[in-house]
Amino acid sequence: MGLIATTSILRVREDATDVFQRYLHLRERMLVLAAYFIVNNDRIKKRISTGSSHKLYVEI
């Protein structure tokens, strides 16, 4: 019985990690979109690129 409980807890933890990873990717995409609209509203040509470590770089 104890083994079954442990494996189900581990599964729940894996699912939570997966959901959190998806949230991070969605958040990163939203940041890129927000930066894109800000740049377009300023009517200044800027290049937007995202780094691998969840940081947003805006180059003027």
pLDDT computed for residue 18 by the predictor: 75
Residue 50 bridge partners (DSSP): 56
For 55, the 3-state DSSP assignment is coil
pLDDT computed for residue 44 by the predictor: 47
CA 39 to CA 41: how far, in whole Å?
Answer: 5
User: What are the 10-residue block averages of pLDDT along the chain, 60 residues in total?
Assistant: 51 67 78 74 51 48
For 28, the token pair is 């990163």
CA 55 to CA 37: how far, in whole Å?
Answer: 17
- Name the domain count of the chain: 1
Largest CA-CA distance found in the chain, in angstroms, rounded = 64
**Domain enclosing residue 20, as ranges:** 2-59
